[in-house]
A = this chain, B = another copy of it.
């Protein structure tokens, strides 16, 4: 996998415009990929919704998946890095959970090959949800009577409450978190009034400047890939500019932290542009507060271009046109623990 991404990187760096021109943007995919071993069912999705919102999935009972991936907002926490149990800070910016079902790998370094794998990460991360072990997590869930009943109904078998099943239920719910078509999608379908003139200029500029080298495909995060594959790019590519130091962009070694191969140093999963308007702050370390500055940084570090103010405005107008609509969701009722509390169990 690393070899593939490295080879692709070389191709893209040396032929950005050609590659960009050949990779058309498409509309939102019409179907969410569902893994064969975790089919969607209404009861599983509802269970996953409860787990997603349940702060008892964390050691302190204060942090849920939704704390950092807030689906009442944009699927993130809008913070540079997230704040987990005891107010501890993570080291990377929380990606939005909306449309995560379309990503072929999860996390900035692509270390999870599925939503199921991803869901397990924060639960066990000491500065996120802080659960010390799978055993403690499953014991906590087993201590809540309503969950025992639901897991039995959804998964059955002699031991329905397992770490795998917890992750499967959460992933099933996350696969329902898809945004509806954006103004850009309407434009692509023929409604030329869906984009402002600035957005239309931005669209053309994004293609001609070479942004599409990486931000291609229906999600603007690279070509469609089989689940588990990953599409990576070095960031920053060019380090001889003011932004790299100002925003501390080279401190994080990216995918190298997973593979420990030199070729993966500073390699990150290419991020989707969809809904990027509302997921500030930007980059793996969340160091850049505004989208216009993020656009300037990307142009300089990835394409060695210095944009004019008007160009930045146009690009931001185009990116803003990629914001979809968010689903209306009924709150789950979290299972109670009658006459006691889960804490200390």
Question: B289 and A336: CB pair below 8 A?
Answer: no
Number of copies: 2
> Which residues, 41 to 66 on A, are CB-close (under 8 Å) to B?
53, 55-56, 60-62
Q: A60-B83, A62-B83 are in contact. Are A341 and B72 (CB under 8 A)?
A: no
Question: A337 and B278: CB pair below 8 A?
Answer: yes
Task: Give the distance to chain B from A122, nearest Cβ to Cβ, in Å.
Answer: 14
Contact residue among B60, B67, B78, B341 (Cβ-Cβ distance under 8 Å from A341)? B78
Question: A336 and B278: CB pair below 8 A?
Answer: yes
Interface code A204-248, partner B: CB below 8 Å = 1, 0 otherwise?
Answer: 000000000000000000000000000000000000000000000
Question: B280 and A341: CB pair below 8 A?
Answer: yes
Which chain B residue shows the least CB distance to A282? B341
A74 to B72, CA, bound (A): 20
Question: A343 and B281: CB pair below 8 A?
Answer: yes
Question: B333 and A326: CB pair below 8 A?
Answer: yes
Interface code A74-98, partner B: CB below 8 Å = 1, 0 otherwise?
Answer: 1001111001011110000000000
Task: Give the distance to chain B from A344, nearest Cβ to Cβ, in Å.
Answer: 7
Question: A291 and B339: CB pair below 8 A?
Answer: yes
Q: A330-B329, A331-B330, A332-B72 are in contact. Are A338 and B79 (CB under 8 A)?
A: no
Which chain B residue shows the least CB distance to A78? B341
A316 to B338, CA, bound (A): 10
Which chain B residue shows the least CB distance to A343? B79
> Which residues, 271 to 298 on A, are CB-close (under 8 Å) to B?
277-278, 280-281, 289-292
A330 to B78, CA, bound (A): 22
Task: Give the distance to chain B from A86, nearest Cβ to Cβ, in Å.
Answer: 4
Question: A280 and B337: CB pair below 8 A?
Answer: yes
Question: A344 and B289: CB pair below 8 A?
Answer: yes
A83 to B61, CA, bound (A): 9
Question: B53 and A333: CB pair below 8 A?
Answer: no
Question: A328 and B331: CB pair below 8 A?
Answer: yes
Contacts of A60 in B (CB 8 A): 79, 83, 87
Q: A70-B334, A87-B85, A281-B343 are in contact. Are A77 and B53 (CB under 8 A)?
A: no
Please tell me if A73 contacts chain B, counting CB pairs below 8 Å.
yes
Q: A61-B79, A72-B333 are in contact. Are A320 and B338 (CB under 8 A)?
A: yes
Please tell me if A340 contacts chain B, counting CB pairs below 8 Å.
yes
Contacts of A203 in B (CB 8 A): none
Task: Give the distance to chain B from A128, nearest Cβ to Cβ, in Å.
Answer: 12
User: Chain A residues in contact with chain B, CB under 8 A?
Assistant: 53, 55-56, 60-62, 67, 70-74, 77-80, 83, 85-88, 277-278, 280-281, 289-292, 316, 320, 326, 328-334, 336-344
**Pairs of residues from A and B, 3 with the lowest C-beta to C-beta distance, nearest first:** A87-B87, A86-B87, A291-B339
What are 26 A-B pairs with beta-carbon distances under 8 A? A61-B78, A62-B83, A62-B87, A72-B331, A73-B334, A74-B336, A78-B337, A78-B343, A79-B341, A79-B343, A86-B87, A87-B87, A277-B336, A278-B338, A280-B339, A281-B341, A289-B343, A290-B340, A292-B339, A320-B338, A328-B330, A328-B331, A329-B330, A329-B331, A330-B330, A331-B331
